[in-house]
A and B are shown apart, each in its own frame.
Chain A
Amino acid sequence: MNAFAANREWKKALLFSLPMLLISGLLFLSGKPLTNPAKLAPAVITFLFINITFFCMIYTGQTHKYRSRFFILASLLFVVSFIANLIEVRGTMELSAANMLDGETPLCPLVIPMLIIPAALTHTIIFPGSLFAAHAGVAPMLVLWLGFSLAVGRGWCSWICFFGGMDEGFSRLCRKPKITAVDSKWTALPWAVLLGIVLTSAATLSPTYCAWLCPFKTVTEFPAIESAKTALQAVIFSSLFIGLVVVLPILTGRRTQCSLFCPFGAFQSLFNKINIFAVRINRADCVNCNLCLQKCPTFSLDEQSLQAGKTLLSCTKCGKCIDICPKKAIAFHIKGTPLHLNLQTARVLYLYPAFTFAAVIGGGCIYGGLERIFRLAVTGSMIH
């Protein structure tokens, strides 16, 4: 690229990044107490990080590389801020029966599939939260989930899921995976878990996945261990965390929790059917090197789908296959538009909504975590 062309690319990238600067300024910075110096620094750093990440995506044409860094950092700092907040408010990560009766549990999006049947039949939410709580109330979380799912489908799992970021982080730790072959039948497990938890939750009118299976209770909040039952639950969720979120991603280099277990991920896949964005493979350019198959973090490509020029329903639109394809045969696509044309338009139109959600949700996590770390540096403690 000569100096003139490079200069033009710079300007073009800057121009495309301006809307995100406005959007993130409007959505991320609004409501932040920027007059408080202790909160100003983390807010400014986060704001800059959001916009530099987006600019780099546009300028370099690399989606996965920058998205992944943002995603993993947001996830790690989410844990920092969430746990610090719990310690500050309750003094423990344990959730007591009284906390549940008080409706103090923030609604986790993973609960949503379990809510649908009881909500439809009884008009009640089978979750110990509050409808309009300031921190992850049920109704705002449902609106957020619905908005995102309509806009980006299963992109949820690669752009804003703070749990997915942990899986992704561990999957990137080992450069050379020790386990390369995983039987494809295990990709059906999330659907089986989904079926199981939806039915048992409807039968018991309680979110069974949260009580028994959710691995992420290990790094968020969990029911107080007061009986053999809660002790057994703790053994199950911590084992699942160690196995599926830490060990297997390191060994396989894939997001095993997200692709081989998470029922919410399976549920989100359904939204890929109606979502306007997709990932398509140009068969004319593809040389069948199978690199995309081997590297897809969520097993969303197989030989059949590759031949058909499509990803599987479980695609999280993370952009990895697009970035690593040596022939640049894979691209974001807008359904209904001509295949393999206007690739940059499709990519930019996808990045805007996906990154808007990431900037607000992930940005909020990064800000929250940084704010706690700054407080630790200044006062010696993360909590008030």
Chain B
Amino acid sequence: MRLQALFGYSAAVLTLIVALATFIGMNSFSHKLVDVTGLKISPWFSGGEILGTIDRGSYKILKHRAVFDGLIGQKAEGFVQIDFSPTADLPDRINEKIDFDLDGKIDFALEYDVVANTAVITAYNPRVLSLAGCYVLKERRAVRVSLRNE
């Protein structure tokens, strides 16, 4: 009983230490947490890892990987995100042919009106479904195209 009480009071004091450590060590604990768990923002929001970059002189085109990630396995439909940066040096119109799966074949042609932030796509691959959206981001422009999984 005494041991239990001792444990109880010790644990109660420990909670204050936990409270202080939470704030004082927040920065280091946060990085530790991410390092240990390998957590990252879901590709459904971040766009997924960048697979390749095309240099167009005044600007660059960044191709993300196609995102089909499901909770377990893959989803039937997903998207691919194409970024254009830096925004200040983008031409008024961009016409690009994109090979999203890096198989050496063009999958869709993208006509992006930078000024109006609208785009038209022409699909060459039946897996390419439609334009999902055009986005004006802080340091880049992004276009997402809906895809069907194989």
Give yes or no for direct A-B contact (beta carbon below 8 Å). yes
Contact with A along B34-49 (1 / 0, CB 8 A): 1001111111111100
Contact check, A151 vs B135: say whether CB atoms are below 8 A apart.
Answer: no
Closest to B42 in A: A124
Other-chain residue from B9, B19, B69, B138 in contact with A357 (beta carbon distance below 8 A) = B19
Q: Does B33 interact with chain A (Cβ within 8 Å)?
A: yes
Nearest CB in chain B to that of A129: its residue: B41
- Closest A residue to B13 by CB, please name it: A349
Q: Is the CB of A349 within 8 A of B40?
A: no
Q: Which residues of A contact B16 (CB under 8 A)?
A: 151, 349, 352-353, 356
A274-303 interface (Cβ within 8 A of B)? 276-277
Chain B residues lying within 8 Å of A112, measured Cβ to Cβ, are none
Whether B69 lies near A122 (C-beta < 8 A) is yes
Q: Which residue of B lies closest to A145 (CB)?
A: B22
A357: nearest residue on chain B (CB-CB)? B19
Given contacts A143-B22, A144-B22, A277-B12, contact A336 B45 (CB under 8 A): no
Interface centre among A139, A152, A349, by most chain B C-beta atoms within 10 angstroms, is A139
Interface size on B, residues (CB 8 A): 46
Residues of B near any A CB (own CB < 8 A): 1, 4-5, 7-9, 11-13, 15-16, 18-24, 26-27, 29-31, 33-34, 37-47, 69-72, 133, 135-138, 142
Could you show 19 A-B contacts with beta carbons less than 8 Å apart?
Answer: A27-B24, A97-B135, A98-B135, A98-B137, A123-B39, A124-B69, A126-B45, A139-B31, A140-B30, A143-B30, A146-B22, A147-B18, A277-B15, A334-B8, A337-B4, A338-B1, A338-B5, A345-B9, A357-B22
Which 9 A-B pairs rank lowest in CB-CB distance, beginning with the nearest? Answer: A147-B22, A336-B8, A139-B30, A151-B15, A124-B42, A353-B19, A336-B4, A349-B12, A128-B45
Interface of A toward B, CB cutoff 8 Å: 23, 27, 97-98, 100-103, 117-119, 121-132, 137-140, 142-144, 146-148, 150-152, 202-203, 205-206, 276-277, 334-338, 345-346, 349-350, 352-353, 356-357, 360
